Structure 1
Amino acid sequence: MSIEVSNESGMDVSEEDLISVARFAIARMNVHPAAELSMVLVDLDTMADLHVRWMDLPGPTDVMSFPMDELEPGGRPDSPMPGPAMLGDIVLCPAFAATQAKKAGHSLAHELALLTVHGVLHLLGFDHAEPDEEKEMFELQNSLLAEWLELRRQARREAQLAERDRRLLGKAGFFDA
């Protein structure tokens, strides 16, 4: 899976985290691993321009998704090729997200991960215009995000334990020549 991130926002953001959460969500949604995704991080003015141009709504927003191919989870079974070439584009506005993160009481990184999952789900055809759609999409979004965050916590803990073990074994002389 190819995921490209272009940060034009002027803000310092972990592109590795965005790629990780996007890759996780895409894999969990059974999208073919050959799919490609583009992510662009923009400033408030650029997002406001896109929001007016594509949604006819004033002011900036947090995330917009632009699907490239008609998709269903798992790809199209009637397609002669295995999976789509280009999933689409997700546009994030870190400055807008920072305000939302502060109001929600969590970090900008958490908010951007949530918005990335939200954007991926939109690319896969999920919407929240109707109450039933909103319930389904947000439950799935929250579930995917929680699972990704837990896997990251586990990986960090395992890395800490491995580092501790390495230091302890080194002090005990297990690595002496």
Structure 2
Amino acid sequence: MAPTSLNQIAVELSLQTELAGLAVSGWVGELLANPWQEWCRRWLESLADDLPPAPGYEVTLLLTGDRQIQELNRQFRHQDKPTDVLAFAALEGDFPLIESEEMGEPLYLGDIVISLERAGHQAEERGHSAGLEVIWLTAHGLLHLLGWDHPDEAALTAMLSQQSHLLTLIDQNPPLFT
């Protein structure tokens, strides 16, 4: 059943890019034209049980390259190598109760950072479009912002299943992994 305007979750998505000097092809323009805010709203509605109560939610999505994501990975995860996606959750652990006077502002969930270069390489290796890979990684990052993790194979399987579900909500065919 599609949500009505009365029960839709309000989402503010800040889509940022730092693409200077990147060797990425023309698919980036098409990627940026996607309805990211609407997609995040649908995803968060589907994940409502994982959300603390709030009048709305804010997420930042930064699309960048290997050099910047490697620096962030080194600085915050002590791994001096590029990665595909990083998620910096604003809230850790159990979500705090929000006082009624604070309920007027959207709740900031955190930042998702994606390397377009990594996404392009992974898409080529996996045989699907780079745009689909970025969407897949965005769903992965959003789940991390909500406390999902994959410390073992069972948790990874559950998370990948949830990512696949999120992509079907926006009429995208999830990538197949073997």
The TM tier, using the shorter chain, reads 0.7 to 0.9
CA-based RMSD: 2.4
In structure 1, the gaps of 5 or more residues are: 152-177
Cα distance in 1, alignment partners of residues 39 and 55 from structure 2: 15
Q: Which residue of 2 aligns with 1:143?
A: 165
Cα distance in 2, alignment partners of residues 42 and 150 from structure 1: 22
Aligned residues: 148
Assess if the C-alpha contact under 8 Å between 2:123 and 2:129 holds in 1.
Answer: yes
Q: Percent identity?
A: 27
The one of 19, 38, 41 equivalent to 1:9 is: 19
Task: Work out whether 1:93 is the aligned partner of 2:110.
Answer: no
Cα distance in 1, alignment partners of residues 45 and 74 from structure 2: 32
Q: TM-score of the superposition, structure 1-length normalised?
A: 0.74
In structure 2, the gaps of 5 or more residues are: 1-10, 174-178
Instruction: State the secondary structure of the residue aligned to 2:170.
Output: helix
Normalized per residue, the structure richer in helix is 1
Task: Work out whether 1:130 is the aligned partner of 2:152.
Answer: yes
Cα distance in 2, alignment partners of residues 33 and 26 from structure 1: 13
Which whole-Å deviations, capped at 9, do the CAs of 1:44-81 have from their partners, x for residues lacking one?
11111111111122311111000112476xx76x4334
Task: Work out whether 1:80 is the aligned partner of 2:90.
Answer: no
Assess if the C-alpha contact under 8 Å between 2:55 and 2:106 holds in 1.
Answer: no
Task: Work out whether 1:115 is the aligned partner of 2:156.
Answer: no
Cα distance in 2, alignment partners of residues 150 and 118 from structure 1: 14
Q: Which residue of 2 aligns with 1:68?
A: 90
Assess if the C-alpha contact under 8 Å between 2:67 and 2:82 holds in 1.
Answer: yes
Cα distance in 2, alignment partners of residues 46 and 65 from structure 1: 14
Q: CA deviation at 1:22?
A: 2.6
Assess if the C-alpha contact under 8 Å between 1:38 and 1:89 holds in 2.
Answer: yes
Q: 1:26 to 1:134 in 2, by over 3 A?
A: same
Q: Which residue of 1 aligns with 2:41?
A: 23
